[in-house]
A and B are shown apart, each in its own frame.
Chain A
């Protein structure tokens, strides 16, 4: 993997007053890849971004981009472009001059840089905005100009630092779409830093999940959701169902006595999880494997789905998110089907000492 890496972070460590903010970080990006660095606030992802951009020197380790080591290379000569949370358009320049800023620094002549800036503005759907002042733009427009300004210099790596968190929800979806489109058109390698798992999942080919200055898991979004490496990862990505169990091959015996089938083999004490949206709730006993008789304890309609809290006879609590069409009354008995391929588990011991971030902390 490291042989083909376009951008490689090797053994990066950064301490502030002795406290490590980033610890021994190894991460590879392939050319044209979209990678999201995801984690709660204070996990070191912004520090990592600053190390990559050259705004902070690492205490140890190095970054290699396109075969060139970036040790000691100042930010302006790293062939990267940074888009920050606030668009930070230069208020004393027009929109067109903002987009052409990087080209001017590179000595591109006036006619060429104006043509390139106009073409880039057209790509972010802001044709005709070149003479506006930044103060006249909406938040979404400003962020699109910031993107255009960064992409027009054809960076080898585009760094996005929480680029959408200042925008409202509707606009965010459009911007995600636009960024994906621009990335596909330009083929730029993209590193997006975010605390929003939804954004990471939508935007990235792979997600690097970071806690406490360390990478915890680097995987595709699907793998992170279905096969988290431990409880911290699962909880951060919205996992709610966790049970202790003892595995013997493909068989699982839950601590309350119920027994389930896995599609992989494990041994000994494990933690089991299943995504709430993968739990199927049936009114009748329609299949025989992994079926738990349950009582509906709570039913909440959220618009796009129905969130059920189910309890088994043994007192096990289970959340299931089912299509809104399915309706269950509180107190009703039903059957929860846990498909073997949706169950995931990891050794229980390794998880014991891991601190789990508070959900409130994660949302913002």
Chain B
């Protein structure tokens, strides 16, 4: 019983802030003394789905960038996390520290240099440039999550699979990846959400030409249309919610976590 109460409390704290947002998105003016808006409207949501507001375009653009940078972070983070989690080598501590640097150091300090390089490469203002710069915060998170997953990984499973006739590629596909799947889901969740919410890096490198949802949200906020801003804000939570629902199911699968200690 008390566990349910705690759960409800957590849900309330997490989701209550969204209630005013939801109300705002369907209200026709909502001013101080009023407890509830006097008039309701669907105009804000109509604006969100209309091509003119470019919300849908930004949504898809954000989705593509987040998916790409998550996939690329995984490609780098999987071998790097394995090396950091399972192997001992000189300079391991320094590499871990270097991985944390993009998280510690403000992007403001590095953006100048990054922008300079990207302009030279002709990548400034392109989707590729934005994806590339999104790897800056996503790779460290992915690598650190996967290194802690691999620290609890028993390579005996891989030995066993090989002795049963699996090639290294088959071991990866049939044994290692299924066993670390929960860790991959957690790492991907981090990477996706970081990329999805990224504003500053996109703003500088995209140079206004790459329009993501946070940029559209920011523009709308500056425009002073609170109703539309609320509707866009609610829209921006949707993929995170879907991802969370999907991944919580994957994480609850005990059998999938069986190969690991505590993730």
Residues of A within 8 A of B (CB): 53, 55, 74-78, 80-82, 84, 86, 88, 90-92, 101-102, 105-106, 133-135, 149-150, 153, 159
A78 vs chain B, min Cβ distance (A): 8
In the docked arrangement, what's the CA distance between A92 and B167, Å? 19
In the docked arrangement, what's the CA distance between A91 and B156, Å? 13
**Nearest B residue to A77 by beta-carbon distance?**
B165
Q: Are B157 and A90 in contact (CB under 8 A)?
A: yes
Interface residues of B in 118-177 (CB under 8 A from A): 154, 156-157, 159-167, 170, 174-175
Q: Dominant SS at the B interface? A: helix
Does B52 have its Cβ within 8 Å of any Cβ on chain A? no
Does B256 have its Cβ within 8 Å of any Cβ on chain A? yes
Q: When A92-B179, A135-B255 are in contact, do A150 and B157 touch as well, CB less than 8 Å?
A: no
**Nearest B residue to A55 by beta-carbon distance?**
B159
- 28 A-B pairs within 8 Å (CB atoms) are namely A53-B163, A76-B167, A78-B163, A81-B163, A81-B164, A82-B160, A82-B163, A88-B157, A88-B160, A90-B157, A90-B161, A90-B175, A90-B179, A90-B259, A91-B179, A91-B256, A91-B259, A92-B179, A92-B256, A92-B258, A92-B259, A101-B164, A101-B174, A105-B165, A134-B258, A149-B164, A150-B163, A150-B164
In the docked arrangement, what's the CA distance between A150 and B165, Å? 10
> Looking at the complex, which one of B161, B164, B256, B259 makes contact with A153 (CB distance below 8 Å)?
B164
Q: Are A135 and B258 in contact (CB under 8 A)?
A: yes
B244 vs chain A, min Cβ distance (A): 22
Find the residue from B164, B170, B175, B258 having the highest chain A CB count within 10 A.
B164
Q: Are A76 and B162 in contact (CB under 8 A)?
A: yes
Does B178 have its Cβ within 8 Å of any Cβ on chain A? yes
In the docked arrangement, what's the CA distance between A153 and B163, Å? 10
Q: When A86-B156, A88-B160 are in contact, do A76 and B166 touch as well, CB less than 8 Å?
A: yes
Q: Are A82 and B170 in contact (CB under 8 A)?
A: no
Q: Are A91 and B160 in contact (CB under 8 A)?
A: no
Write out the residue numbers on chain B whose beta carbons fall within 8 Å of the beta carbon of A102.
Answer: 164-165
> Looking at the complex, which one of B159, B160, B162, B175 makes contact with A74 (CB distance below 8 Å)?
B162
Q: Are A106 and B165 in contact (CB under 8 A)?
A: yes
Does B262 have its Cβ within 8 Å of any Cβ on chain A? no
In the docked arrangement, what's the CA distance between A326 and B102, Å? 80
In the docked arrangement, what's the CA distance between A248 and B258, Å? 67
Write out the residue numbers on chain A whose beta carbons fall within 8 Å of the beta carbon of B174.
Answer: 101, 105
Write out the residue numbers on chain B whose beta carbons fall within 8 Å of the beta carbon of A53.
Answer: 163
In the docked arrangement, what's the CA distance between A149 and B164, Å? 8
B17 vs chain A, min Cβ distance (A): 38
In the docked arrangement, what's the CA distance between A81 and B164, Å? 6
In the docked arrangement, what's the CA distance between A135 and B255, Å? 8
Q: Are B178 and A75 in contact (CB under 8 A)?
A: no
A129 vs chain B, min Cβ distance (A): 15
In the docked arrangement, what's the CA distance between A101 and B255, Å? 17
Q: Are B165 and A153 in contact (CB under 8 A)?
A: yes
Write out the residue numbers on chain B whose beta carbons fall within 8 Å of the beta carbon of A80.
Answer: 163
In the docked arrangement, what's the CA distance between A88 and B155, Å? 10
**Nearest B residue to A133 by beta-carbon distance?**
B255
B263 vs chain A, min Cβ distance (A): 13
Q: Are B175 and A82 in contact (CB under 8 A)?
A: no
> Looking at the complex, which one of A55, A82, A91, A106 makes contact with B255 (CB distance below 8 Å)?
A91
B90 vs chain A, min Cβ distance (A): 15
B102 vs chain A, min Cβ distance (A): 33
Q: Are A75 and B157 in contact (CB under 8 A)?
A: no
Interface residues of B in 28-58 (CB under 8 A from A): none
Q: Are B164 and A105 in contact (CB under 8 A)?
A: yes
Q: A76-B163, A91-B255, A105-B164 are in contact. List 8 more A-B contacts (CB 8 A).
A: A55-B159, A82-B159, A82-B163, A90-B259, A91-B258, A105-B174, A135-B255, A135-B258
Write out the residue numbers on chain B whose beta carbons fall within 8 Å of the beta carbon of A76.
Answer: 162-167
> Looking at the complex, which one of A77, A84, A90, A135 makes contact with B159 (CB distance below 8 Å)?
A84
Find the residue from B161, B165, B166, B178 having the highest chain A CB count within 10 A.
B165
In the docked arrangement, what's the CA distance between A84 and B154, Å? 12
> Looking at the complex, which one of B154, B181, B254, B255 makes contact with A88 (CB distance below 8 Å)?
B154
Q: Are B170 and A105 in contact (CB under 8 A)?
A: yes
Write out the residue numbers on chain B whose beta carbons fall within 8 Å of the beta carbon of A90.
Answer: 157, 160-161, 175, 178-179, 259
A285 vs chain B, min Cβ distance (A): 61
Query: Which 7 pairs from chain A and chain B are nearest by CB?
Result: A91-B258, A82-B163, A102-B164, A92-B178, A75-B162, A105-B165, A88-B160
Find the residue from A90, A133, A134 having the highest chain B CB count within 10 A.
A90
Write out the residue numbers on chain A whose beta carbons fall within 8 Å of the beta carbon of B255.
Answer: 91-92, 133, 135
In the docked arrangement, what's the CA distance between A102 and B159, Å? 13
In the docked arrangement, what's the CA distance between A11 and B140, Å? 47
Write out the residue numbers on chain A whose beta carbons fall within 8 Å of the beta carbon of B178.
Answer: 90, 92
Write out the residue numbers on chain A whose beta carbons fall within 8 Å of the beta carbon of B170.
Answer: 105
In the docked arrangement, what's the CA distance between A30 and B178, Å? 39
Interface residues of B in 178-224 (CB under 8 A from A): 178-179, 181
**Nearest B residue to A155 by beta-carbon distance?**
B163
